[in-house]
Structure 1
Amino acid sequence: MLCEHISPTRRAVLGASGALFAWAFMPRFAHAAGGRDPRFVTIILRGALDGLTAVPPIGDPDYEALRQQSAMRIDGANPALPLDGFFALHPSMRNFQRLFRAGQAAVVHASATAYRDRSHFDGQDVLESGFPSPGHVETGWLNRLLEGLPAGERVAPGAAERVRGLSVGTTAALLIRGKAPVLGWAPSILKPADGDLAPRLADLYGQKDPVLARLLQEGIDTGKIASGIDIKARGGPGDPNGMEQMARGAARLIAHPEGPRVAALAFEGWDTHAQETDRLAKLLTGLDNALAAFEQELGPVWKDTAILVATEFGRTARVNGTEGTDHGTGTTAFLAGGAIRGGRVITDWPGLKEAQLRDGRDLAPTTDIRAIIKGVATDLLGANANHLRDVVFPGSESVQAVKGLIV
């Protein structure tokens, strides 16, 4: 069965060929807050999200001067969706606005990891590894979080391995690589095989290789749960249709009573150096539809779900000469789900005056994203504070969990 430690090469093969896992080894978290059966999803936006466009601070008197023609307003040109009077939302995120108003979504503005330089590779390493500096690419913080969670009552007696997480995509994100067994699933980009192919293979392997026959059947079962998604146009993780497809499949798997409870996805293409307006509108539409897909497909378990959307760093406060933005520091993270205490923008707003910008060019970060993750992991999953401090996020002794994120 596919209950293994992930290596990038092995994962690329397994993810592309379909997910395989044994339902009997799926645990529930024994000590989750309030006795609930929670789900936790992390979505990584690779390329660095422009938080000042995704969630524009329309109430800041210096915002329009910095963004000039691309500045958003509630009324008139470049209309934005209202949030709380000071912050607004990009018009492509109407589903998120609906969740925000329902108290099931929140924004974490002026946020960042511990990383303060501007390399995509190093920034993504820090975001996904959970270490305060780049170069730690063996395991990810989400996998180490899984390792430390208490075993659930549904773990099969004597099971050598327990599948706790779900990796979505043909290659596992660093975020979820590690010792904790993880299920891999990727939407198919190939033409569907003839209906009789799987039964023929099962019959062949059943006669020659019972172990492989069992793996094949598990893959078929997994595919049946995650498939049946009616999306007319398929795309990859940087395409709106691809984002929605990945989200729907992931949601169906973690919604299953015996399915994984934690999932990791990565959406590509957020490096908007040029022509940002049109590109970001398309990307944010995909993200927004993906969040709506999770809500729809999770059904009753949505109430116990928290989704974190994070990126490696932000972008410059000023627009460049190609109508885009360059690598920056502070950015925006999103929280969504029925378990989120939403309807608010969580921030210690640093301001946008010249003297308030980091290095005179970037939104200054005031909230450490590790504090947000610690708060969700503690109150939703029952994670141990010492394990979070020492193992999940080494070197984070000064980063205290944000409380009150979970209802």
Structure 2
Amino acid sequence: MTQSLNRRAFLSRSAIIGCSLAASPLMTPLSFASTPGENRLVVILLRGGMDGLDVVRPYGDPGYRALRGNGGISDPEGAVDLDGYFALHPALRPLMPLWSNGQLGFAHAVSTPYRDHRSHFDGQDLLEAGLTDFDSGTSRDGWLNRALQHLPNSQTETAYAIGRDKLSVLSGPAEVQRWSPESDLVLSPQAIKLAGLIMQDDPLFDVAFQKAMAISDGDGDAVATPGTRDDLMREINKNHKQTTGRNRTTLEQRIAEFAGKRLRGDTRIASFSINGWDTHQGQGRTLPKALSRLSNAILTLQETMRGPVWNKTTVVAVTEFGRTAKINGTGGTDHGTGGLMVMAGGALRGGRVMADWPGLEEAQLYGRRDLMPTRDVRAYLGWLLHSQFGLSKSAIETSVFPGVDLGADPKLIR
């Protein structure tokens, strides 16, 4: 490599410094979208169909033991009692202080209007679009984006779609900011210096780089070096070797920390997804891992936004459908219907499992196989939007979630 190292050469070697160009804001256009007021909302999409009957276990229902043996698929003896009827999966035990403080809650036996076909793709599309079906010609914009369109004075930092996934829940005309963990360039001061030298002759690219550094929280610190660009690259390589393997935080923790930092500022709405909920087999091994990642994400949000900001925040985690009530022959559960909604946050009036409980006797199951949904998950989401951002019930029922029956106010917010 010579002194004439150009932008192409720099980018072709960018793997050395930990930047994935496929998702980097250096190469991907950035779209920007803060609502008035101080309330915050975080929507987490749990992709794969979370088994709500194993996460919040209705051990007080006599039908549960008949379906699930001695009370759960994984670690039944470790379940944490919540209210004498429901018990929490032990992998979520770290969240119990939130439960004790009224900052954790659940809505059970909920679902979208999606029924019977049980396709992940269709189920997730309808969950994010917030629609009853796709046959009525209604726009497939995400329901969070439609909500933004009803909020006055939304600005470029209002909402963040975070992560690798497309996140259709925020897609639509209202502008939102998008960020992926790969866009956190993790550049050493030497790398920042080198990039600046290379890009200074290309004004458009230099502007893009500066924006990328701003969104990725790069420090941009200057570095004094008497050496050449070759020396700088050697320093970058040395820095990378020193830092590789040192950062053991999970992807979800990084995403949650980034979201929390944005929400401490002008941002009011953030959304990201967590995969790994499709537990057809070996659920006792796979589900605890996914739940630990969800727990880590929620606790990272709390830590990052601690204090007044957390007290204005509600976190809601939703999934495309639940799973079968019975365990299958491979120690897992198959695609089902009724499921669970997880809520947290300092603004939440938690410490309760909300459910119009349908029962688990065979005749009480949906299609004699699934937990019967008794309330539309969109109703809870609609009441959150009404309580936190002042959206009118008519706007929610006709535009944000067309056709939804909001029903009685569950009074989710303090």
Structures share a fold, TM > 0.5? yes
Structure 2 distance, partners of 1:372, 1:215, is 40
Q: Which amino acid aligns with 2:172?
A: G
- Whether the 8 Å contact between 1:167 and 1:263 is mirrored in structure 2 is yes
Cα deviation for residue 185 of structure 1 reads 1.2
1:22-33 to 2 correspondence within 5 Å? Answer: 27-29=34-36, 32=37
Tell me which residue corresponds to 2:47. 46
- Whether the 8 Å contact between 1:348 and 1:366 is mirrored in structure 2 is yes
Structure 2 distance, partners of 1:198, 1:191, is 10
Identity across the alignment (%): 36
- Whether the 8 Å contact between 1:128 and 1:175 is mirrored in structure 2 is yes
Structure 1, residues 196-222: CA drift from partner, whole Å, max 9, x if none? 33344345545431x443332222122
Q: CA RMSD in A?
A: 2.9
| 1:325–1:203 CA distance, 2 compared to 1 (3 A) | same
Counterpart check, 1:146 vs 2:148: yes
- Whether the 8 Å contact between 1:128 and 1:140 is mirrored in structure 2 is yes
- Whether the 8 Å contact between 2:362 and 2:368 is mirrored in structure 1 is yes
Tell me which residue corresponds to 2:190. 196
Tell me which residue corresponds to 2:126. 126
Q: Which amino acid aligns with 1:120?
A: H
Return the match for 2:335 from 327, 330, 349. Answer: 327
Structure 1 distance, partners of 2:186, 2:23, is 16
Counterpart check, 1:289 vs 2:296: yes
| 1:167–1:392 CA distance, 2 compared to 1 (3 A) | same
Tell me which residue corresponds to 2:213. 220
Structure 2 distance, partners of 1:242, 1:388, is 33
| 1:403–1:109 CA distance, 2 compared to 1 (3 A) | closer
| 1:367–1:254 CA distance, 2 compared to 1 (3 A) | same
Structure 2 distance, partners of 1:187, 1:106, is 28
Tell me which residue corresponds to 2:168. 174
Cα deviation for residue 14 of structure 1 reads 7.6
Can you give the 5+ residue segments of structure 1 that lack an aligned partner in the other structure?
1-11, 156-161, 235-240
> Matched residue of 1:224: which SS?
coil
Greater CA radius of gyration, 1 or 2? Answer: 2
- Whether the 8 Å contact between 1:20 and 1:222 is mirrored in structure 2 is no
Structure 1 distance, partners of 2:81, 2:24, is 41
Structure 1, residues 54-105: CA drift from partner, whole Å, max 9, x if none? 00001111111101156379xx953201111100100000232221111011
Counterpart check, 1:94 vs 2:103: no
| 1:191–1:252 CA distance, 2 compared to 1 (3 A) | closer
Structure 2 distance, partners of 1:250, 1:226, is 18
Structure 1, residues 94-133: CA drift from partner, whole Å, max 9, x if none? 2322211110111100010111121111111110001101
- Whether the 8 Å contact between 1:231 and 1:245 is mirrored in structure 2 is no
Tell me which residue corresponds to 1:3. none
Can you give the 5+ residue segments of structure 2 that lack an aligned partner in the other structure?
1-19, 221-242
Structure 2 distance, partners of 1:252, 1:342, is 24
User: What TM-score results when the alignment is normalised by the length of structure 2?
Assistant: 0.81
| 1:201–1:191 CA distance, 2 compared to 1 (3 A) | closer
Structure 2 distance, partners of 1:305, 1:339, is 5
> Matched residue of 1:98: which SS?
helix
Q: Which amino acid aligns with 1:122?
A: D
> Matched residue of 1:78: which SS?
helix
Structure 2 distance, partners of 1:223, 1:164, is 17
The alignment covers a number of residue pairs equal to 367
Structure 1, residues 207-250: CA drift from partner, whole Å, max 9, x if none? 431x443332222122117999x97336xxxxxx2222221222
> Matched residue of 2:271: which SS?
strand
1:376-395 to 2 correspondence within 5 Å? Answer: 376-395=384-403
- Whether the 8 Å contact between 2:64 and 2:71 is mirrored in structure 1 is no
> Matched residue of 1:339: which SS?
coil
Q: Which amino acid aligns with 2:144?
A: L
- Whether the 8 Å contact between 1:15 and 1:184 is mirrored in structure 2 is no
| 1:248–1:141 CA distance, 2 compared to 1 (3 A) | same
Cα deviation for residue 20 of structure 1 reads 8.2
- Whether the 8 Å contact between 1:313 and 1:331 is mirrored in structure 2 is yes
| 1:77–1:317 CA distance, 2 compared to 1 (3 A) | closer
Cα deviation for residue 190 of structure 1 reads 9.1
